[in-house]
Amino acid sequence: MNMNAEQAREQIWAELRKVGKPDTRFHWDFAEFIADYEGSDLGADIVREHEAYQNASVVFITPDNNMRKLREYTLIDKKTLIMTTYGINRGFQIVRPGDVPEGKEEFASTLDGIELFLTPISLKEIKEEFDHIPLLFTGASAMKPNGLRFGKGHGYFDLEWGMLWEMGIVTTDSIVFGLGHDCQIVDADIDPEEYDTVVDYIVTPTRCVKTENNHPKPTLGIIWDKLEDGMFDNIPPLQEVYEEKVKS
């Protein structure tokens, strides 16, 4: 019998305490952050060898703890990095090739260090400069083999996808990678919601797996009545999307 979401979450978080790294703000509260873990650098090595990464000149990476090495590689490899701040409270940010001095990439890949090099960018500016983001990376508390992410509950990546979709910056051809530890991959009894952005590839410290991905990427944009209280007021790009919708 498959586990439900709560059972899977409890099992994963118990296992993650053995291999995960605490957060400076949230310690071991895995409901509040995506943990880094032993071997996350190996997962970044796997991504770096993937054709999709090598072919992309601009990538979106979530501000998750387990993405540090991947952010470093992105900076070293002179790709344009687009990301958000924690909770998307300061919206989308960009680091262009040349923004980080050579030799400072490791420092700049940390969530504190990158603050010195980020430049705010609106969704409209992203669309005008790049038109399309072909490749996105997200962490996850838990993932099913079919690419469904679950566990933390705030849905920030689904929201980021929705905003980028509304502005025509991502399409169903955009490739999404989900990074996590092997212990975070479980086949729980959970069905996707209409807004769930299922990943195309799962990368752990030991492998890269093309997911079954039997749920299409969301094409609904922002589902306004699903927003948590306070999100609209605290997330500037949501206000930008809303203003664009009103104009049209």
pLDDT tens, position by position, 93-134: 999 999 999 999 999 999 999 999 999 999 999 999 999 999
Task: Count the alpha carbons within 13 Å of 86 in the hemisphere toward its beta carbon.
Answer: 11
DSSP secondary structure, 183-246, as one string: GGB---S-PPPTT----SEEE-SS-EEE----SPPP-S---GGGPPTTHHHH-HHHHHHHHHHH
Q: Beta strands 80-84 and 58-61: pairing type?
A: parallel
Q: Which helix (H) or strand (E) holds 52?
A: helix 51-55
Q: Beta strands 36-37 and 20-21: pairing type?
A: antiparallel
Measured CA distances, 30 to 15, 105, 180 (Å): 12, 27, 13
Within a 10 A sphere around the Cβ of 148, how many other Cβ atoms? 25
Q: Provide the pLDDT for residue 181.
A: 97
Question: pTM for the full model?
Answer: 0.94
What are the DSSP E strand ranges found in 29-78?
Answer: 36-37, 58-61
For domain 5-247, is the CATH number 3.40.50.10420?
yes
pLDDT confidence tier of residue 24, bands split at 50, 70 and 90: confident
**Residue 33 in this model has a pLDDT that exceeds 70:** yes
Higher pLDDT, 150 or 82: 82
Q: Provide the pLDDT for residue 61.
A: 98
pLDDT confidence tier of residue 153, bands split at 50, 70 and 90: low
Higher pLDDT, 7 or 128: 128
How far, in Å, CA of 162 to CA of 196, rounded?
10
